Amino acid sequence: FVRLEKIRFVQLFPAFTCVVLQGVQKSFREVIDVSSGDSHQAGIKPISFVRQVLAACLYPQMLEEQNLPLDIELRAHSLLAACEGGSTGSYTDSSGMPRVRQSIAEFITRRDAGIPSSAKDIFISAGSQRGLMVLVKLLVSGETGVRTGVLTPVPCPHTLPMLLDEAGVMPVPYQLMEERGWTMELDELQLALSAARNHCEPRAIYVSNPGNPTGHVQDRKSIEEVIQFAAAEKLILLVDEVYQDSVYRQDRQFISYKRVLFEMGKVFSETVELVSFHSLSCATMGECGLRAGFMEVVNMDPEVKHYVNTMLCTDISTPVTGQLALELMGSPLKPGDPFYDTYTKEILLIQATLVQNAERAWWFLNSLPAISCQPAMGGVYLYPRLHLPPGLIEQAKVEADVLYCQRLLQEEGVLVGAGCQQGGTTRKHHLRLCIQVPPNTLEEVLTRFGSFHLRLMDKFPHSNTKISSFQH
């Protein structure tokens, strides 16, 4: 059927669990998967306002039969009126329902202190990955001999290498500075770019802020530097801002690249091409299963926007339930709405859990020998470094961090991500650990993790190496 030998694939979502656990005597009750962000799977409760509105939109007779809170009833009626034929079962425009795009544009305008956003620059897709795929495919289109490169951070989101590979893009890795809390450094960007220019044509830079998996949140100065760099080198900025509502360090807040760009004056705001991604899955909502995200494009040629739209056409349209949930994310309840208090309580609980977990897991990981973990400022991951004993590294037939993860899964039923999935080549070993889980799940994970790690360290001679945490 297929000329198998010709296909290059990076397999990043291995059906790891079943393979590794085959025939293993299990001492644990169940596998806990904290390798990626999937908060509902982990047991975080959905926001009931969102779910109630969606349920009413799917089954509008609820609106007649039941005594729903007034804000839920009104919202459902108004969303249904925005669906073709008044049904969530109809197709929508490929780039999204006009009402949803408008609502998101207003949300961005509020977020960015009034810097205007326009619905025509918002493209809805079935998750932010899908939007990113469309963009990078446009980047490689019309390649002539020299391959298209995209600067990508090391570590990067574990889904990125496979996406770039499928699109045919060459990743140009730039190193983040772990010792400084995973900051972006101009020197590293320059270094990566110079090295790359011999074998590909770098056309864009990908940034994850708040950082996946690092948890770093850039300050204004750092963002300005990156924008200046992109402007000078004529690179398109592809900014993954999907954790924008999950910044929890007290002295750091989320500032969007777009806002900084516009506050740097017209020389930049009228020239630098920027695409920002956001998603229903990664926000406090955690609605991964509904499959919806959006991108805002800035300074993009109208003709290119036309092609973005055309490429989204092959998906026909984004799932309507997901689009409606995006609308609710864009225009949340306001003080005075009858359901507002419940809504706010639920959101605060999710956010408080995240803060508490970040602190707790950071403290615990750093208390273990041969592990050092930078504190996270935002996002849903911790990314601790393993100072693995040489004896273990020599024994490993796969990457040593993969071996570590396999054993952890076999012995304790805890699934974490191996750092070697995060792009680039490095001799350092890391783990990716999602902390957006209920506190008791986190405790169970840490307990199992701790016993495994201490047992392993007992077996191999090791020095209790640590690198300093940036600050906390």
Question: Least separation, in Å, of the C-beta of 417 and its own copies?
Answer: 14
Residue list 132-161, contact with its own copies (CB under 8 A) = 133, 138-139, 141-142, 144, 159
| 66 touches its own copies (CB under 8 A) | yes
Nearer to its own copies, 255 or 326 (CB): 326
Which one of residues 24, 26, 27, 59 is an interface residue with its own copies (CB under 8 A)? Answer: 59
Nearer to its own copies, 61 or 425 (CB): 61
Question: Least separation, in Å, of the C-beta of 318 and its own copies?
Answer: 7
| 238 touches its own copies (CB under 8 A) | no
Residue list 296-335, contact with its own copies (CB under 8 A) = 300-301, 303-304, 307, 310-311, 313-322
| 118 touches its own copies (CB under 8 A) | no
Question: Least separation, in Å, of the C-beta of 386 and its own copies?
Answer: 26
| 471 touches its own copies (CB under 8 A) | no
Instruction: Give how many residues touch its own copies by CB under 8 A.
Output: 80
Residue list 154-213, contact with its own copies (CB under 8 A) = 159, 162-163, 166
Question: Least separation, in Å, of the C-beta of 190 and its own copies?
Answer: 23
Residue list 22-51, contact with its own copies (CB under 8 A) = 36, 38-43, 46, 48, 51
Question: Least separation, in Å, of the C-beta of 231 and its own copies?
Answer: 15
Which one of residues 75, 105, 127, 189 is an interface residue with its own copies (CB under 8 A)? Answer: 127
Q: Which stretch binds its own copies (CB under 8 A): 125-133, 175-183, 264-272, 393-401?
A: 125-133
Nearer to its own copies, 13 or 363 (CB): 13
| 2 touches its own copies (CB under 8 A) | yes
Extract long-range pairs of 87-93: CB within 8 Å, 24+ residues apart: 88/57, 88/58, 88/320, 88/321, 88/324, 89/320, 90/320, 91/316, 91/317, 92/317, 92/318, 92/320, 92/323, 93/317
Q: Crossing angle of helices 400-412/439-459, nearest 10°?
A: 120
Binding pattern to its own copies, positions 257-286, x when CB under 8 A?
A: ----------------x-------x----x
Residue list 329-368, contact with its own copies (CB under 8 A) = none
Nearer to its own copies, 94 or 212 (CB): 94
Question: Least separation, in Å, of the C-beta of 438 and its own copies?
Answer: 10
Question: Least separation, in Å, of the C-beta of 387 and its own copies?
Answer: 32
Binding pattern to its own copies, positions 70-99, x when CB under 8 A?
A: -------------xxx-xxxxxx-x-----
